[in-house]
């Protein structure tokens, strides 16, 4: 992003610096003064830092337009996609990695915890994406997967107070994916998914903070999905009771 002299101002980015294995309590921040304009995003500013001030600063990005989900981080304590988060107008802004996920390096978190949640949910609605005949897969990729509107940014996990206190919780994104099986089964049997999510560490663990829905940059609305999943689980239980004559 080009910053013209007419609209330039200087903002100080206070950036979390940590490497895997560092003592989580030993916080370290580096400061960088960056020329920004009214349309400069946090990702633009980070790219400028790496290019001009510190090539060792690490962060993830790919698409630059809120599509790939790789640039999730916290800006002044609020989760968002760095590529569409404007640099705030104040003199200083604090940039930190997502929460509830282990830090690999600086602003890069280990997403294994996020994807493990999908394993806990039985990998619902994980459909190999429509394969283009003859297209070569990138090395190391066995199959391409997407979870509907979810761009797999991990922001909902970062904001979730339950995920922050209980790592066994299945988590908002995986539960939202489970709900999609019920909402639109497309030939799948939703019964096993509903039974799997009818668990105290799954649909019933959510405390209704609705932080995930508020923060999700892709309109997934995980909190509403979890509530609907609960209704489905309760209805399935009632059907089982009825069909077994009240003995379960
Ligand atoms: S549900 Fe929303 S916030 Fe959570 S991973 Fe998917 S896109 Fe990101
Ligand atoms: S760089 Fe792809 S979502 Fe931000």
- Write out the DSSP string of 148-194: TTB----HHHHH-HHHHH-TTS--HHHHHHHHHHHH--TT---HHHH
Q: What is the pTM of this model?
A: 0.87
The answer, yes or no, to whether any atom of ligand 2 lies below 6 A from the CB of 67, is yes
Where in the chain is CATH 1.10.1060.10?
112-242
CB neighbourhood size of 84 (10 A): 15
Q: Identify the pLDDT of residue 104.
A: 94
Q: Identify the pLDDT of residue 154.
A: 97
User: Tokens 């979870």 sit at which residue?
Assistant: 147
Query: Which of 222, 223, 229, when mutated, tests ligand 1's pocket best, judged by the most ligand atoms within 8 Å of its CB?
Result: 222
C-alpha angle 155-151-68 in degrees, rounded to nearest 5: 105
The answer, yes or no, to whether any atom of ligand 2 lies below 6 A from the CB of 69, is yes
- The CATH number for 5-109, chosen from 1.10.3720.10, 3.10.20.30, 3.90.1150.10, 3.40.50.1100, is 3.10.20.30
Assigned token pair, 123? 């990998």
The answer, yes or no, to whether any atom of ligand 2 lies below 6 A from the CB of 81, is yes
* CA–centroid distance, residue 87 to ligand 1 (Å): 22
The answer, yes or no, to whether any atom of ligand 1 lies below 6 A from the CB of 151, is yes
The answer, yes or no, to whether any atom of ligand 1 lies below 6 A from the CB of 15, is no
Where in the chain is CATH 3.10.20.30?
5-109
The answer, yes or no, to whether any atom of ligand 1 lies below 6 A from the CB of 150, is yes
- The CATH number for 112-242, chosen from 1.10.1060.10, 3.30.70.100, 1.10.287.110, 1.10.287.70, is 1.10.1060.10
What CA–CA distance (Å, rounded) separates 70 from 113?
A: 15
The answer, yes or no, to whether any atom of ligand 2 lies below 6 A from the CB of 83, is yes
* CA–centroid distance, residue 50 to ligand 1 (Å): 27
Q: Identify the pLDDT of residue 143.
A: 54
Radius of gyration, alpha carbons of the chain: 21
The series of mean pLDDT values per 10 residues for the chain, 248 residues long, is 75 95 84 96 98 97 96 98 96 97 95 85 57 61 63 96 92 91 80 91 94 95 95 92 64
User: Tokens 């070569």 sit at which residue?
Assistant: 136
* CA–centroid distance, residue 240 to ligand 1 (Å): 33
Q: Identify the pLDDT of residue 182.
A: 86
The C-alpha torsion from 137 through 140 and 145 to 150, rounded to 10°, is: -120
Q: Identify the pLDDT of residue 230.
A: 96
């Amino acid at each position: 992003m080009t910053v013209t002299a007419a609209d330039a101002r200087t903002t100080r980015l206070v950036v979390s610096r940590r490497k895997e294995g560092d003592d989580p309590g030993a916080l370290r921040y580096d400061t960088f003064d960056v020329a920004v304009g009214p349309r400069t995003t946090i990702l633009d500013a980070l790219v400028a830092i790496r290019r001009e001030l510190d090539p060792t600063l690490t962060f993830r990005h790919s698409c630059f337009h809120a599509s790939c989900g790789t640039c999730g981080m916290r800006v002044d304590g609020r989760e968002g996609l760095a590529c569409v988060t404007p640099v705030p107008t104040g003199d200083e802004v604090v940039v930190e990695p997502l929460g509830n996920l282990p830090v690999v390096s600086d602003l890069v978190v280990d997403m294994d915890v996020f994807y493990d949640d999908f394993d806990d949910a039985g990998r619902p609605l994980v459909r190999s994406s429509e394969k283009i005949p003859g297209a070569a897969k990138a090395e190391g990729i066995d199959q391409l997967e997407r979870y509907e509107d979810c761009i797999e940014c991990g922001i909902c996990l970062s904001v979730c107070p339950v995920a922050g206190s209980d790592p066994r919780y299945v988590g908002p994104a995986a539960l939202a994916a489970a709900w999609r099986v019920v909402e639109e089964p497309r030939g799948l049997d939703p019964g096993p998914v509903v039974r799997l999510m009818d668990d105290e560490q799954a649909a019933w663990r959510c405390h209704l903070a609705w932080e995930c829905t508020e923060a999700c940059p892709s309109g997934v609305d995980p909190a509403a999905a979890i509530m609907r999943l609960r209704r489905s689980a309760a209805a399935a239980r009632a059907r089982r009771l009825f069909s077994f004559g009240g003995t379960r």
